[in-house]
Amino acid sequence: MDYHFEFRPYRRLFKQPLRTRYGFWNVREGLILRLTDAEGRIGWGEVAPIADFGTESFAQALSFCQFLATEISEGTIAQIPATFPACQFGFGAALENLSVVPSGNAQTALNSLWTVHEQSYLLPTGRDALRGWQDPWQQGFRTFKWKIGVVDSAEELRHFETLMQCLPEKACLRLDANGGLNWDTASRWLATCDRLTSSYAAKVEFLEQPLPIEQFDQLLNLHQQFRTPIALDESVSTLTQIQSCYQKGWRGIFVIKAALAGSPEKLRSFCQTHAIEVVWSSALETSVAQHFIRHRLIPAVPASDRAVGFGVDHWFLDTTLNQLDFEQLWQSL
C-alpha cells in the first residue's frame, strides 16, 4: 500500500541553554511527519535526532525526508537504514498510528499523558538546582533529574550534598553524567551517593551513564561495587546498542529514549522478549512522539514503578508543540 507523505520541520528555543557535558544546547530541531492512506486516515510521526547520542543529525534527517517521493510504501519505511534510527522511529510510529481505529473516547485518550507524579523533572544544572526543585515539588513532582559533570567535580559534590539536605522525604534524585566522568570521579560520586542516601530523607535513585560508552567493562564493574544503581543511557541510545549491552551482560537499568532508538516495532519486541528494566526518557521531543510512546510503547512492555523522564516541557519558550491536537500543531509549523 502507498501512502501520501508530508513533513514539516520545527525549531524550538530553550528558555535558557540546556547545559550538559557536551556543552550548551540552545535550539531543539526536528520534523513532524504525516502519512495519509487511501481512506484519508492520518498517521502522525516525529523525527527528533540527537547526533551526540549516536543518531543521524538533523541535517541528515531533513535531507532524507526531502529525498523521498510524496508517495511512499511500507517497503520504503522498512528499508530505512539502522544508521538513521530517529527516522526509523518517526516513520514507524506514523505507520502504526494509521492502524489506530478512532473511537468515541479518542480525545480522552489523547489528553491522558503523564501526571506529575509519573514523571521526573529536569532540574537546572549547577547551584541553580538548589532552588529549582521547590516549585515543581509544590506541583506534585517527586522525582528529579540533575545533570552533573558540567563544572568542577568538587564544587558539584558540594552542591549535591546541599541539595540532598534540602530535598524532602520521598524525593528521588537521578544524577546524569552523560558519560562525562572518569573512573576516579565516578567512584567518588557513587561513594557519596551511598553515604548521603543513608544520611538524608531523600534518596538517590541511580547514577546515569557515569562513564563513556566505550568503557562498558568499567561500567559493569562500577555497577557491582556500589549500592547506588547505575543506569545506562548513551550506551543504549539505539536498539543495536541495547541488544549489544544486553548480550555483554548488562542486567541493570536501561534508560531508553524511544525517539532515538529506531524501529518502534523492533524495540517493543526486544523489551517484551527480554523483560529488561526500562526507564523511559525524553529526547526533548514534541507531544507527537510523546503520545505514541505513552500509548503504543509503554503499555506493551513489562510495567515499571519508576517515573518516566518526560518532565521537560518547562525548558521551552514555545508551548505550541506541547499540544495534543496534532492537526492544529501541524498548521502552526
- β-strand partners of 50: none
| Ranges of the chain with pLDDT below 70 | 100-112
Cell of 25: 544546547
What is the helix (H) or strand (E) element at residue 31, kind and residue range? strand 23-36
Among 101, 33, 96, 103, smallest CA distance to 62 is for 33
Confirm if 106 and 83 have CB atoms less than 8 A apart.
no
Give residue-wise pLDDT tens across range 285-325.
999 999 999 999 999 888 788 999 999 999 999 889 999 99
**Residue 246: predicted pLDDT:** 98
> For residue 190, what are the CA distances in angstroms to 60, 122, 175, 220, 245?
38, 20, 10, 13, 21
**Residue 302: predicted pLDDT:** 83
What spatial distance separates the first Cα and last Cα of the chain, rounded to whole Å? 28
Confirm if 29 and 11 have CB atoms less than 8 A apart.
yes
Q: Where in the sequence numbering do the catalytic residues fall? A: 147, 257
**Displacement of CA 12 from its chain's centroid (Å):** 17
Strand order in the sheet with 172-176: 277-280, 253-256, 230-232, 203-208, 172-176, 143-147, 119-122, 308-311
Give residue-wise pLDDT tens across range 53-63.
999 999 999 99
Grouping H, G, I as helix, E, B as strand and the rest as coil, residue 17 is: strand
pTM as predicted: 0.94
**Residue 102: predicted pLDDT:** 47
- 265-289 burial, b if ≥16 CB within 10 A, otherwise e? bbbbebbeeeebebbbbbbbbbbbb
Cell of 147: 545533570
Which domains are present in the chain?
Answer: 2-106+324-331 (3.30.390.10), 113-316 (3.20.20.120)
**Residue 112: predicted pLDDT:** 53
Among 270, 226, 280, smallest CA distance to 244 is for 270
**Residue 117: predicted pLDDT:** 85
170 burial class (0-12, 13-18, 19+ CB within 10 angstroms)?
Answer: exposed
Contacts by 293-297, CB closer than 8 A, 24 or more apart? 293/258, 293/259, 294/113, 294/114, 295/109, 296/93, 296/96, 296/97, 296/264, 297/258, 297/264, 297/267, 297/268
